[in-house]
Amino acid sequence: MDITTSLIVIAFIYGIFLFLDNFFKSCAHYPYIKFLEGTGFKIQFLTIKWQTKAFNRTIIRWGNSRLSFFNIWFNLGLYASLILVPIAVIMLLYSVFQNFITKKQQHILLEPVIPGLNLPASELGYYSGTLIVASIVHELGHALAAVLDDVNLIEVGANIFFILPVAYVNLSTEKLFNLEGKKTLRIMCAGIWHNIVLSVIGIMLYCLLPVIFSMIFHVNRGITITQIAKNSPILGPRGLVSGDTVFRINDCEVSDENSWYTCLNQVKDHQTGFCIDPKLVHSLDESIPLKYSVNGNLDCCDGTKSENICFEYLDSNDDGILELPSHVCLPGRKVVEESPTICTQSPHICPNNRYCFRPILSNFTYLIKLSCKDKLVVYLGYPIDISRSIEVSSYIPNLVFKTTDVPDIMTKFIKYLTIISFGLALVNVMPLSYMDGQYIMEIIVYMLLREKLGNKKCKLIVATITTFFTLILILHCLYFFYNNFPT
């Protein structure tokens, strides 16, 4: 199911909920109305809201159980959040600079997550799930810090805006903003601090997962093909199928998922050179006089056999004497299968009296050798088609487990949780409208400048700063969406 279909299905489910909600309310269905009042649910257009006071006592009990610890804990959070403010602002400005000035779209520092563009439909559940966890941890920080300074906790709740779940806590604003400036600032920074800590824990768990799962899975020995698209050009009996283990691409060792993508990217740097036995050249060469093909490349094959490729000889000798023809026409698969050594890098030296030959192919097309556990796969095409049509796992099943679902799900969840949590911290610490950063900036400006400038000018400064950065972020997101929207 693609992302568009997924969103349509979700919208349809919302429509059913809204219809049933209006139907039962219009009929004055007493049990249903009582259910809504008792549970705190409210259904609106593409929105589900929930609020409750059931957790108030538990949170207050937690907050009062270790007052000295939480006092130190949230003071650390205050300083960490204030340090993060300029870092987040610089990251945002640099990302805008990348977007509008340098036009570097591939490595933007702060990249918006947009379903259908850079968020696959298959990972929508990870995004929503980790967002609600990060949001709950964030709001728990505000609640516990508020308890520490005797600010009344009114209720907690969560809203689901289409596919975006967001938790919240409702505090007594009158008491909150009547506190000493530092205490109010500490409460506003508490959620950001919790997201920072959650991200650090996520990084640690992400690094420990291979160690933990190494007891029941093979780790750092290659990758497992977990899923391959039906239209993938490398799918097939002589290609790759789900469950295959790949441990090398050309001469690049594949140990995990990261090295898999690194090796695929390295393929694009140079056409691969293969060390060929001269006997193979003499027995299979079907070259004709050199000519220029339609794409402008030199060609020495007559085109009657689709498996034949024109190879050029890369001479490693300095004497200028060629031991073999400069161009030969050979079957590509046979060359790759019979070539144990890669000679892509200069000086193109081959062992055992073999000679280095490189295929002459059209732009962005490469001859790739994938070494698997029980077979050798030869692929002629675009490396990007492999990376886009194949999902891999860093874990290889052993005799106990047949699939890698458990470590893959945990790895992906923790990865998303780390990224989403830190992203939530960055967005909230920036001086943006309706975010924690707006109130943090307001408190700092009033603490530093109110006596010199007065309330009116301080209010104007805060409004100017928050409006500026809010517009900057909106423009950044819109420009990113425009540049990445599929045409």
DSSP tag of 52: E
Query: Three-state SS for 427?
Result: helix
Asked if residue 430 and residue 300 are part of one domain, the reply reads no
Asked if residue 53 and residue 41 are part of one domain, the reply reads no
Question: Is residue 144 assigned to a domain?
Answer: yes
The tokens describing 182, both together, are 């530092």
Asked if residue 68 and residue 202 are part of one domain, the reply reads yes
| Cβ contact 173:56 at 8 Å | no
Asked if residue 158 and residue 103 are part of one domain, the reply reads yes
- Cα–Cα distances (Å) from 294 to 288, 297, 305, 306, in that order, read 16, 7, 17, 15
Is cis: bond before 347, omega within 30 of 0? Answer: yes
Question: Is residue 339 assigned to a domain?
Answer: yes
Asked if residue 115 and residue 254 are part of one domain, the reply reads no
Question: Is residue 406 assigned to a domain?
Answer: no
- Cα–Cα distances (Å) from 411 to 205, 210, 290, 307, 442, in that order, read 9, 9, 52, 41, 39
CA angle 421, 424, 429 (to 5 degrees): 130
Q: Which of 285, 378, 260, 273 has the alpha carbon at shortest distance from 316?
A: 273
**What SS3 string covers 73-97?**
HHHHHHHHHHHHHHHHHHHHHHHHH
What whole-number distance in Å separates Cα of residue 133 and Cα of residue 120?
20
The tokens describing 153, both together, are 């906790």
Domain termination residue (choose one: 355, 378, 401): 401
Question: Is residue 16 assigned to a domain?
Answer: yes
Report the sign of the C-alpha dihedral through residues 345, 350, 356, 361, in that order: negative
The parent domain of residue 316 ranges over 223-401
Question: Is residue 217 assigned to a domain?
Answer: no
Q: In one letter, which amino acid is 59?
A: I
| Cβ contact 313:355 at 8 Å | yes
Domain count, the chain: 3
Strand-pair partners of 171: 153
Asked if residue 148 and residue 284 are part of one domain, the reply reads no
Q: What is the pLDDT of residue 319?
A: 54
Asked if residue 38 and residue 55 are part of one domain, the reply reads no
Domain termination residue (choose one: 401, 432, 462): 401
Asked if residue 394 and residue 254 are part of one domain, the reply reads yes
Could you list the pLDDT tens digit for every one of the 487 residues in the chain? 567 787 888 899 999 999 988 888 887 677 888 888 888 899 989 899 999 999 999 999 999 999 999 999 999 999 999 999 999 999 999 988 887 776 655 577 888 887 767 777 778 889 989 999 999 999 999 999 999 999 999 999 999 988 889 999 999 988 988 888 899 999 999 999 999 999 999 999 999 999 999 989 999 999 999 999 899 999 988 899 999 999 999 989 999 999 999 999 998 888 889 999 999 999 999 999 988 877 778 889 988 888 899 999 887 665 555 668 889 999 999 999 999 889 888 788 888 888 999 999 887 889 999 999 889 999 999 999 999 899 999 999 987 788 899 999 999 999 999 999 999 999 999 999 989 999 999 999 999 998 888 889 999 999 999 999 999 999 988 888 887 766 5
Asked if residue 315 and residue 238 are part of one domain, the reply reads yes
Asked if residue 362 and residue 437 are part of one domain, the reply reads no
Predicted model pTM: 0.85
Q: What is the pLDDT of residue 321?
A: 57
- Angle at which helix 181-213 crosses helix 124-148, to 10 degrees, equals 140
User: In 268-370, which residue ranges form alpha helices assigned H by DSSP?
Assistant: 278-284, 332-337
Question: Is residue 109 assigned to a domain?
Answer: yes
- Cα 480 to its chain centre, rounded Å, is 16
Report the sign of the C-alpha dihedral through residues 461, 466, 472, 474, in that order: negative
Asked if residue 279 and residue 142 are part of one domain, the reply reads no
